[in-house]
Each structure stands twice: as C-alpha cells, then as structure tokens.
Structure 1
Amino acid sequence: MKTEQTVSVLNDLLQITNDRIEGFEKVEGKVWEMYPDIKDEYDRMISQSKIMKNELINLITEKGGKPQDSPSVAGALHRTWIDIKNSFTLGNLEESTLENVIFGEKAAIDAYQKALESGDLCEKSSEIVSEQLNSLKVSYDQFKNIEEYKKK
C-alpha cells in the first residue's frame, strides 16, 4: 500500500469534515427557536467534527503528508446552492435546513464508506476512519426523521 494513496484518501476525508463544520456553522438561530430539542445534539456534532478533523490531520502528518486543511470546492458549491435554494424557499426554511443537514450527513457517510472499501488505508487509519464513520451514522440516524422533530 502506498503512503501517498493513504494521505490522499485521508485528505479527501479531511475536506469532507471541513465541509461538514462549515455547513453546521451556517445554521441560523431560527432553526433552534423552532427545534430547541436538537440544539444540544447539533452542538455535539460540531464538536465531534472538530475532533475528527484533528484526528485526520494527525494521521496525515504521521504518514509524512501535508494536510489540505480547507473545505472542498464541491462543498463550497453545495453551500452556495443551499443559500440560493433557501432564498427562494416559500415553505419552512428551518425544515429545509434540517433536510440539508441530513443530505450532508448521508454524503459524508458514503465518502467514509468508500474510503474504507478502497483498500488505501493502513490499519491504524482504517480503525480511526471506521470509528468516525460510526459517529456519522449515529448523527445521521438522529436527524433523518424530521417528522419526529416537527411533533416536538
């Protein structure tokens, strides 16, 4: 297994994690007024993402790689698309925001799963990425059923 491939995969996950952090930080206070019960979970997800980011940076550095510690172009385009979409939303902006969180979590899960299946990660990296994937799945499960939050 080539170290360069491992570093490349880890850098891809680092960019996805940075996209996740930026996306979470864009959520407006109105969402929390409407859904106060999920604010603590959301704050936990932001903290978790920052820990994941540091773990990935450490793995990249240990492999002698240079962390590409910035959000991706695709993530920036997605956030811009969400901003445009939300500016034309006639319905409930808060619900739309939560739907976008769920979409982003699903995309992160898919990317992490592909990274694990690629065979490009060393054992230590695979263990940490697998743990991070499990955390993403827990967060996704907690947010995917918006109907439950509407009832609260």
Structure 2
Amino acid sequence: MENNKTVETLNELLQIINDRIEGFKNIDSKMIESYSGLKEEYDHKLVESYNMRTELTALIEEKGGDPNNTTTIAGGIHRAWLDFKNSISSDQDEISLETVLSGENAAIKAFENALKSGNLCSESSKVVQDQLQELRSSYDKFSQLEKNL
C-alpha cells in the first residue's frame, strides 16, 4: 500500500467530516426552537465531528501529509439546496432530519468505500472503522427521532 494513497483517502474522509461540521453548525435556529430535543443532539454530533476531524488530521500528519481542511463541492451544493428548501417549507424539523439522514448516509458510504479500497494502513483502518460506527449510530439515532416527529 502506498502512503500517498492513504493520505489521499484520509483527506477525502476529512472533507466529509468538514461537511458534517458545517451541516451541524448551520442548523436553522427556528427549527431548534420548535423541537428542543434536537439542539442537544446536534451539539453532541458537532463535538463528535470535531473529535473525528482531530483524529483524521493526526493520522494524515503522521503519514507526512497535509490535512485538507476544506469541504466538498457536493456538500456545499447540498447545504445551499437545503437553505433554499428550508426557506420555502413550513416543516423545518422534518427537513432538518431528512438532511441529517441524507448527510450521514453519504458519510457512511464514503467511509465504507475507504475501508474497502485497500488504501488504508491498519492504524488508519481502525480509526476509520471506529468513526464509521459513530456515523452508523448517529444515523440510527436521527432515524428514530424522525419516526417520533
């Protein structure tokens, strides 16, 4: 396995986590006011995302790479679409949860693909696998919240 491939793959995941951070940071305050149970979950997931970013950044730097602290183009387009959708919809809670589920699902797929790629060393695979479990848990949690709305 080539070190450059490991760094490249970890940087792709780092961008996904940066998208996740931006998504949780940009939750509409009106929506949070109408369903207070989500604020605590979003805050928890934001802290979790920062921790994930720290872990990925450390791995990249250990491999001699430069962390890519940007977001993805797809993530930016997705956030813009959601801002528009939120501006014309009256059901902010449902849209917000749909957004989270969509984002978490995309992150899960990216992390699964990274693990299947063969580009990660064993240390990196362990961290990515642990983070994948956190993403799956998050997806399950928000899926349950959506069912309870």
TM-score, normalised by the number of residues in structure 2: 0.94
Within 5 Å, which residues of 2 pair with 1:79-90? 79-89=79-89
Number of the residue aligned with 2:103: 104
- Paired positions, count: 148
Number of the residue aligned with 1:17: 17
Give the deviation of 1:147 after TM superposition: 2.3
What runs of 5+ residues in structure 2 fail to find an aligned partner?
none
Rounded to whole Å, the distance in 1 between the matches of 2:84 and 2:37 is: 27
Deviation string 1:66-103 (CA, Å, 9 cap, x unpaired) is 111111111111111111222232x4122111110111
Give the deviation of 1:42 after TM superposition: 1.6
Rounded to whole Å, the distance in 2 between the matches of 1:39 and 1:51 is: 19
Rounded to whole Å, the distance in 1 between the matches of 2:132 and 2:11 is: 15
Let me know the Cα RMSD of the aligned residues.
Answer: 1.1
Number of the residue aligned with 2:41: 41
CA contact (8 A) 1:9 1:121 kept: yes
> Which aligned runs of 4 or more in structure 1 are off by greater than 6 angstroms?
none
Rounded to whole Å, the distance in 1 between the matches of 2:147 and 2:68 is: 37
Number of the residue aligned with 2:56: 56
Number of the residue aligned with 1:118: 117
Rounded to whole Å, the distance in 2 between the matches of 1:119 and 1:133 is: 16
**Corresponding letter in the other structure for 2:142:** F
